[in-house]
């Protein structure tokens, strides 16, 4: 138990007749990036809000950084960071002013200038926040979430609305935090994001955790049959190398329009939640 940043057993939460969380078990190790995946209404937001101490549970055991979030005090909150889908609007304040303001809330705050540098906003430190792009505002959200140097960081769909280039730049920020030892619990609808960032992923649907595994092994993905396709045909096989060798001999060299493909994480995820 001491190796776990988050431990959840038999978690239940209902809203009237709707059981949003139905017996969830979850374990997140110190120092890992854990992605919680699920469709809208699956129960992931309720689960995370309980872990953050913002929502009461009906039953079950929850421990986050060694304490029950339902009863944890200010000292515990100093140890966690939360990046919601939108932290707030500070249109008339500069990036530096906002960071310094939030730093005053914490005893162990980092130097705001260093935090701004870590998220790549040094050139915008004197810019008013309403002039920032969407990606830059999201970087500021992360800066405010990590200014207290948290042991555990909650990220709620951090790159929603980003274009592909901005999303990849943002991933570098998260990867840097992870390499410095921050435990991260991430919710996302972008399967590629989970695959790039997460050490492990958990799939939740209809209030239940279906499976927890590494992105490469979720749902038996690493053992799934491969599809070999080429200009003149297509074949599903457990031995794609043998098929490619046979085709290379048949074509006496280069195989025209060759593609070897195994199920993506998205393919597996959609199967698990019952969508194709």
Domain annotation covers residue 170: no
Domain annotation covers residue 40: yes
Answer yes or no: do 58 and 156 share one domain.
yes
Domain annotation covers residue 20: yes
Domain annotation covers residue 10: yes
Percent of the chain with pLDDT over 70: 97
Q: Is the pLDDT of residue 1 over 50?
A: no
Residue 20's SS3 state is: strand
Answer yes or no: do 93 and 139 share one domain.
yes
Answer yes or no: do 8 and 116 share one domain.
no
pLDDT mean over 193-211: 95
Domain annotation covers residue 233: yes
Res 167: pLDDT: 84
Q: Is the pLDDT of residue 34 over 90?
A: yes
Answer yes or no: do 203 and 237 share one domain.
no
Q: Which residue in this structure is represented by tokens 């749902």?
A: 219
pLDDT mean over 148-163: 88
Answer yes or no: do 75 and 111 share one domain.
no
Task: Identify the weakest region by mean pLDDT among 4-13, 144-153, 162-171, 193-202.
Answer: 162-171
Give the Cβ contact number of residue 241 at 10 Å: 11
pLDDT mean over 18-32: 95
Answer yes or no: do 4 and 74 share one domain.
yes
Domain annotation covers residue 264: yes
Res 87: pLDDT: 57
Q: At what angle do helices 95-103 and 134-146 cross, to 10 degrees?
A: 20
The domain tally of the chain equals 3
Answer yes or no: do 96 and 142 share one domain.
yes
State the CATH number of the domain containing residue 68: 3.40.50.300
pTM for the whole thing? 0.86
Answer yes or no: do 68 and 156 share one domain.
yes
Containing domain of residue 116, as a range? 86-150
pLDDT mean over 70-90: 85
Answer yes or no: do 195 and 102 share one domain.
no
Answer yes or no: do 52 and 156 share one domain.
yes
Q: How confident is the model at residue 12 (pLDDT cuts 50, 70, 90)?
A: very high
Answer yes or no: do 6 and 132 share one domain.
no
| SS3 letters across 91-113 | CCCEHHHHHHHHHCCCCCCCCHH
Q: Which residue in this structure is represented by tokens 């040094």?
A: 122
Q: How confident is the model at residue 144 (pLDDT cuts 50, 70, 90)?
A: very high
């Amino acid at each position: 138990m001491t190796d776990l940043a988050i431990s959840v057993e038999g978690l239940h939460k209902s809203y009237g007749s709707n059981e949003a969380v139905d017996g969830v078990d979850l374990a997140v190790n110190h120092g890992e990036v854990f992605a919680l995946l699920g469709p809208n209404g699956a129960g992931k937001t309720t689960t995370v809000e309980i872990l953050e101490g913002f929502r009461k549970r009906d039953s079950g055991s929850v421990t986050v950084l060694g304490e029950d979030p339902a009863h944890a005090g200010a000292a515990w909150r100093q140890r966690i960071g939360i990046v919601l889908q939108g932290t707030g609007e500070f249109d008339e304040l500069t990036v530096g002013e906002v960071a310094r303001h939030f730093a005053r809330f914490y005893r162990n705050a980092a130097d705001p200038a260093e935090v701004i540098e870590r998220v790549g906003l040094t050139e915008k430190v004197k810019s008013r926040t309403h002039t920032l792009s969407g990606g830059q505002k999201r970087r500021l959200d992360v800066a405010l979430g990590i200014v207290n140097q948290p042991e555990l960081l909650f990220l709620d769909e951090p790159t929603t609305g980003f274009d592909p280039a901005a999303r990849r730049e943002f991933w570098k920020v998260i990867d840097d935090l992870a390499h410095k030892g921050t435990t991260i619990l991430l919710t996302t609808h972008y399967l590629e994001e989970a695959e790039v960032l997460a050490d492990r992923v958990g799939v939740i649907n209809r209030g239940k955790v279906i499976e927890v595994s590494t992105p490469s092994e979720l749902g038996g993905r690493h053992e799934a049959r491969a599809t070999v396709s080429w200009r003149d045909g297509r074949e599903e096989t457990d031995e794609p190398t043998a098929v490619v060798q046979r085709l290379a001999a048949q074509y006496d060299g280069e195989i025209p329009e060759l593609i070897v493909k195994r199920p993506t994480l998205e393919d597996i995820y959609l199967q698990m939640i019952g969508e194709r």
